[in-house]
Amino acid sequence: MARFDNGRDVLDGLNELVRKNQVNAGSLTAIGTVEKASVGFFLGDGQYSTVAIDGPLEIVSCFGNVSVKDNQPFVHAHIILSDRNGRTCGGHLMPGCLVDATLEVTVQAYDGIDLVRKQDPKTKLFLLDI
């Protein structure tokens, strides 16, 4: 478990956490708030459309997995956010989601296995090789 403070980029923090702890396979969840966010939607051909959202925003749900990409642990996560009026937005967690008050993270490591990502020629995404 970990807690991130104000101003920390969520995705950078998650990747740093799993790399520091050498988690090569696992799952994660996170709750907290962000002062601004960036979420992505897959368009195809390896490309994402990105939406920037001003906060403050409550993290309704953030979940993902941990695998190995380019020989290092890598987080793939999705996030759902709510504004003060209860409107929600979600998508692929992108760089630019900055912690507001706090972010609490739980990582469940799967010992004894490595999940590896390889680029799929059709989608151009780095997909789990399972």
Domain boundaries, the chain: 2-128
Cβ atoms 124, 118 nearer than 8 A: no
CATH of domain 2-128: 3.30.1330.80
Per-residue pLDDT tens digits for 67-102: 999 999 999 999 999 999 999 999 999 999 999 999
pTM: 0.94
Q: What is the mean pLDDT of the chain?
A: 96
- Which region holds residue 106: left if phi is over 0, alpha if psi is between -120 and 50, else beta? beta
